[in-house]
Chains A and B, each alone.
Chain A
Amino acid sequence: MNNAELIVSNKAVSELSKHRPLRRYLNKLRWLSLCLVFAMLIILPLLSVYQTYVASHGYRLLSPSGKHFYDVMQFFTSPFTDDPANSLDAVKGSTWSGNFFGFKISDPLAVLGQIAAAAAIYPAFLITALTPILFSVLFGRFYCGWICPATLLYELNTNLAVWLQKLGFRPGHREFARYLKYFVLMVCLVVSALTGTVVVAVIYPPAIIGRELYYALALGGFGAGTVFFMLTLLFDILVARRGFCRYLCPGGALYSLLGRYRLLRIQRQVQQCNDCAKCNAVCEFGLNPMRDDFGQECNNCCACIAICPTDALIFSTRVTDISSQGAGHLGPKYRKLHLANTNNICDEDAKA
């Protein structure tokens, strides 16, 4: 290879990296979003404690650590507000149900659970879930991938499982029927209706995390929910990868149903695909992007887009998947089937 050729190829490589499509960075953006939500769940209880300190007008009565905490919180909040005791009430709650500058947002599962438990609809509460419902109808199970505070921990848990595997421990890779979570959702609603209490609040990981973080930071101590959540983490490591989200989560089931005919979905461009199956390996929900099997359970997490070496996965605005497009055109299987024939034709042409 002479110098000129080398320069050209280097240029080609740099061109390629320069034109890396933006959608490949969405997975990083998603991690940022997850981290921000989680940070919010940590900051809000601290703000709440600070507010009670301010409201009590008793700085000198605080313990030394309390004074230190007060000073730190004052340092961070004073640029934004002169009246922390009242104005910091603007943002409260968790992803389960929260108040964002007077705009109340609740998880649709909370509304459904409440309707089942009370056998009645409270319109004021139903309205708070309309925004998430609308977003789920448009973007599918995006809550699971982009917002859910449990997802952050579950994905870190998956990474932990990978490290454990490197150390010689074998994490569980069992597979169950995916419709199991719809069954769980149904059972939760039936039990809610029978007992008259919102059962989903007790077993839904994001609700548990929002609550438990508050207990831990503001009230000092973990509740029973932490034990339950630890068990789900263990389940994910020992039994099935992302097992709780894939097979058991009632919220995931509800979001899947809402997003069945979502408008924005990931789609494979069969011409670009080389059948490397990296997307299947990386998919947290055990779907099959390489053979167009996204279905209603895809959470638009973009991990497959980020890893695809040929940029074959794109976003499209369709109501259904394009199913079974067959082997990727850059892959060996497709070449064996089709390109072999064209070669033969060429040979015949040459003979003629």
Chain B
Amino acid sequence: MIRFPDRLILKNWRRGSKRSSHVELGRDGGAPPSLRSGVMNRRKFLFTMLASTVVAETVNPVTASAGAVYSRQRYLRPPGAVASDPFLARCIRCGQCAEVCPNESINYFGLGNGLAAMGTPYIIPREQACVLCMKCGEVCPTGALQSISRTRESILEKVRMGRARVDESLCLSFQGNTCGVCARACPLGKVALQVGYLEQPHVQAGCVGCGLCERICIQMPQAIRIIPNYA
């Protein structure tokens, strides 16, 4: 199992480092508000950590899950998931979504992501990405995962797991070698990921964030990753 060192890069974001320019969280609308502001000084950082560990992680689910976003791991919710707050309120932690998942993509949080998120499903695309079979939404009894029919149109319209972003400093095609593996892995084709000169990937508006491109990327660490959409 390979984990990308998310923490290091996120640390640079917090300091407002120039190196953060290759992956921007804020503009996709997917990042938590605290990250959107960009610059974060040490005092603010310490205060946030203190707040999220002492109070928020046990009591307030919103802060707890937001805290986990940048303190622990970058994860996706299964396709069809409603926004973060109603998700925690709707999900009854029954575990059926992973039970029907044919690709073993869905896993469950333990206590590591705060008590509020315990038992809720997540997907780490680099470990095992979603194949958009839409079985989880079908089996979910509560509507935490909305039922979406398995057609190209409804997937494009309704699934919003996140959005892919290319790190041009890592991507082989941007370094002068032809690769294009991510574009071939993409189940949605040109509307989501278009290839240009030397098969350089360009993420389009149709990307739903299934993560197959990130899973398949031959670079280590991966040059394309999904920026989650929790909103």
Residues of A within 8 A of B (CB): 44-45, 48, 51-52, 55-56, 85, 89, 92-94, 96-99, 104, 106, 110, 113-114, 117-119, 122, 124-125, 128, 195-198, 201-202, 207, 210-211, 214-215, 218-219, 223-225
Report the Cα distance A128→B107, complex, angstroms: 25
On whether the beta carbons of A201 and B119 are closer than 8 Å, the reply is yes
On whether the beta carbons of A223 and B110 are closer than 8 Å, the reply is yes
On whether the beta carbons of A48 and B94 are closer than 8 Å, the reply is no
Residues of A within 8 A of B102 (CB): 51-52, 55-56, 85
Report the Cα distance A127→B60, complex, angstroms: 30
B193 to chain A, nearest CB (A): 24
Instruction: Identify 25 residue pairs between A and B in the complex whose beta-carbon atoms are under 8 Å apart, listed by A's number.
Output: A52-B101, A52-B102, A52-B104, A89-B100, A92-B96, A92-B100, A94-B94, A97-B94, A97-B96, A99-B96, A110-B92, A110-B94, A114-B142, A118-B90, A124-B143, A195-B60, A195-B61, A195-B116, A196-B61, A196-B62, A196-B116, A198-B93, A202-B93, A218-B99, A224-B110
A122 to chain B, nearest CB (A): 5
B15 to chain A, nearest CB (A): 32
Interface residue from B59, B92, B111, B119 paired with A114 (Cβ < 8 Å): B92
Residues of A within 8 A of B101 (CB): 52
Q: A55-B102, A55-B103, A214-B98 are in contact. Are A113 and B92 (CB under 8 A)?
A: yes
B34 to chain A, nearest CB (A): 19
On whether the beta carbons of B99 and A197 are closer than 8 Å, the reply is no
Q: Does B86 contact A (CB under 8 A)?
A: yes
Residues of A within 8 A of B116 (CB): 195-197
Q: Does B23 contact A (CB under 8 A)?
A: no
Report the Cα distance A232→B78, complex, angstroms: 32
On whether the beta carbons of A106 and B92 are closer than 8 Å, the reply is yes
On whether the beta carbons of B93 and A48 are closer than 8 Å, the reply is no
Report the Cα distance A223→B115, complex, angstroms: 12
Give residues 142-192 of B contacting A (CB, 8 Å): 142-143
Q: A106-B141, A202-B119 are in contact. Are A98 and B110 (CB under 8 A)?
A: no
Report the Cα distance A197→B100, complex, angstroms: 24
On whether the beta carbons of A93 and B108 are closer than 8 Å, the reply is no
Residues of A within 8 A of B215 (CB): none
Interface centre among A89, A122, A196, A225 (most CB of B within 10 A): A196
Interface residue from B86, B89, B108, B143 paired with A223 (Cβ < 8 Å): B108
Count of chain B residues with Cβ under 8 Å from any Cβ of A? 36
Interface residue from A118, A210, A225 paired with B94 (Cβ < 8 Å): A210
Residues of B within 8 A of A113 (CB): 92
Residues of B within 8 A of A (CB): 59-62, 85-86, 88-96, 98-104, 107-108, 110-111, 115-119, 135, 139, 141-143
Residues of B within 8 A of A104 (CB): 141
Interface centre among A45, A97, A197, A201 (most CB of B within 10 A): A197
Residues of A within 8 A of B62 (CB): 196
Interface residue from B89, B100, B111, B141 paired with A48 (Cβ < 8 Å): B100
Residues of B within 8 A of A197 (CB): 61, 88-89, 116-117
Report the Cα distance A218→B139, complex, angstroms: 18
Residue of A nearest to B105 (CB): A52
On whether the beta carbons of A96 and B118 are closer than 8 Å, the reply is no
Report the Cα distance A213→B105, complex, angstroms: 18
A204 to chain B, nearest CB (A): 10
B202 to chain A, nearest CB (A): 31
Residue of B nearest to A213 (CB): B95
On whether the beta carbons of B99 and A44 are closer than 8 Å, the reply is yes
Interface centre among B100, B102, B107, B141 (most CB of A within 10 A): B141
Report the Cα distance A224→B94, complex, angstroms: 15
Residues of A within 8 A of B107 (CB): 219
On whether the beta carbons of B99 and A198 are closer than 8 Å, the reply is no
Interface residue from A55, A94, A128 paired with B95 (Cβ < 8 Å): A94
Residue of B nearest to A207 (CB): B93
Interface residue from A97, A214, A225 paired with B92 (Cβ < 8 Å): A97
B118 to chain A, nearest CB (A): 6
B99 to chain A, nearest CB (A): 5
Interface residue from B59, B89, B139 paired with A89 (Cβ < 8 Å): B139
On whether the beta carbons of A92 and B115 are closer than 8 Å, the reply is no
On whether the beta carbons of A211 and B93 are closer than 8 Å, the reply is yes
A239 to chain B, nearest CB (A): 24
Interface centre among B90, B91, B94, B110 (most CB of A within 10 A): B94
On whether the beta carbons of B98 and A125 are closer than 8 Å, the reply is no
On whether the beta carbons of A92 and B108 are closer than 8 Å, the reply is no
B188 to chain A, nearest CB (A): 21
Residues of A within 8 A of B85 (CB): 196
Residue of A nearest to B94 (CB): A97
On whether the beta carbons of A196 and B89 are closer than 8 Å, the reply is yes
On whether the beta carbons of A198 and B94 are closer than 8 Å, the reply is no
Report the Cα distance A210→B98, complex, angstroms: 13
Residues of A within 8 A of B99 (CB): 44-45, 48, 92-93, 214, 218
Interface residue from B90, B95, B100 paired with A122 (Cβ < 8 Å): B90
A223 to chain B, nearest CB (A): 5
On whether the beta carbons of B135 and A96 are closer than 8 Å, the reply is no
Report the Cα distance A259→B7, complex, angstroms: 52
Residue of B nearest to A191 (CB): B59
Residues of A within 8 A of B110 (CB): 223-224
Residues of A within 8 A of B119 (CB): 201-202, 211, 223, 225
